[in-house]
């Protein structure tokens, strides 16, 4: 059964990007090898992200300032939330949407073919899915750094009922992954 999952990496003090939208603090540890990312992405059938995240992927992965251009990194259909007209990409299944996440979630469910929905970020977009009762899991891989400021992990007050901790996993000396289920 499809689960809608906010899967992300964060600093110990709860930021997913620094104030300049940099992820250098994260990539100092190398790529995702050694974490469960490859296992996670195998079960993903649809992807959602906000425009800052989309532009980050374009600027740092697809058209990096140094090094060759690369294709869009996801084979799954990806829904990009923005109120603006953003650059399109040849060869990528991108669907630009705005407003209420609920009807978009319905489209994603229909497309995911029973696989999971990955809410890549940012934190407020994950919060919008939670606001509508559509978020099932929060899976955070905490890096052994603090940032002091930046893009918040999940800017919502979720206290009652609290999230339910399902699993804790260490990855070397850099990462601790916390897996929570949203209780309803
Ligand atoms: N650590 C990690 O693993 C990780 C994961 C994901 C992202 N990141 C990084 O974290 C940062 C997140 O940036 P962010 O906090 O700005 O979040 P974001 O979700 O990437 O972008 C937010 C923007 O998306 C658009 N948007 C969001 N919801 C919308 C809706 N319902 N309808 C229409 N537009 C909507 C709005 O911009 P417009 O309408 O103006 O376009 C909004 O300002 C980025 O730097 C990203 O690279 C890190």
Is the pTM higher than 0.75? The answer reads yes
Average pLDDT per consecutive 10 residues, the chain (184 residues; last block may be shorter): 98 98 95 88 98 97 93 97 96 97 98 98 98 98 97 98 98 96 96
CA angle 22, 132, 130 (to 5 degrees): 40
Dist. CA 163 → ligand 1 center (Å): 23
CA of 75 relative to ligand 1 center, distance in Å: 20
Contacts of 93 (CB under 8 A, 6+ apart): 76, 77, 78
Q: Ligand 1: distance of its center to the CA of 122 in Å?
A: 4
Sign, CA dihedral 25-179-31-35, equals positive
Cα 125 to ligand 1 centre (Å): 7
Report residues whose beta carbon is within 6 angstroms of any ligand 1 atom: 8-9, 16-17, 21, 23, 26, 49-53, 56, 81-84, 98-99, 101, 120-125, 128, 151
């Amino acid at each position: 059964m499809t689960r809608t999952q906010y899967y992300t990496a964060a600093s110990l003090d709860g930021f997913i990007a620094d104030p300049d939208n940099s992820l250098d603090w994260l990539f100092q540890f190398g790529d995702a090898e050694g974490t469960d990312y490859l296992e996670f992405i195998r079960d993903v059938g649809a992807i959602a992200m906000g425009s800052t995240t989309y532009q980050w992927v374009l600027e740092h992965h697809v058209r990096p300032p140094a090094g060759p251009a690369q294709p869009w990194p996801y084979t799954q259909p990806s829904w990009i939330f923005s109120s603006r007209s953003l650059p399109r990409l040849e060869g990528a299944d991108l669907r630009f949407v705005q407003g209420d996440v609920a009807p978009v979630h319905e489209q994603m469910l229909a497309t995911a073919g029973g696989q999971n929905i990955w809410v890549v970020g940012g934190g407020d977009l994950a919060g919008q899915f939670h606001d509508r009762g559509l978020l099932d899991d929060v899976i955070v891989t905490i890096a052994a750094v603090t940032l002091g400021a930046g893009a918040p992990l999940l800017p919502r007050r979720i206290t009652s009922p609290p999230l339910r901790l399902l699993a804790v996993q260490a990855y070397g000396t850099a990462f601790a992954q916390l897996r929570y289920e949203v209780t309803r």
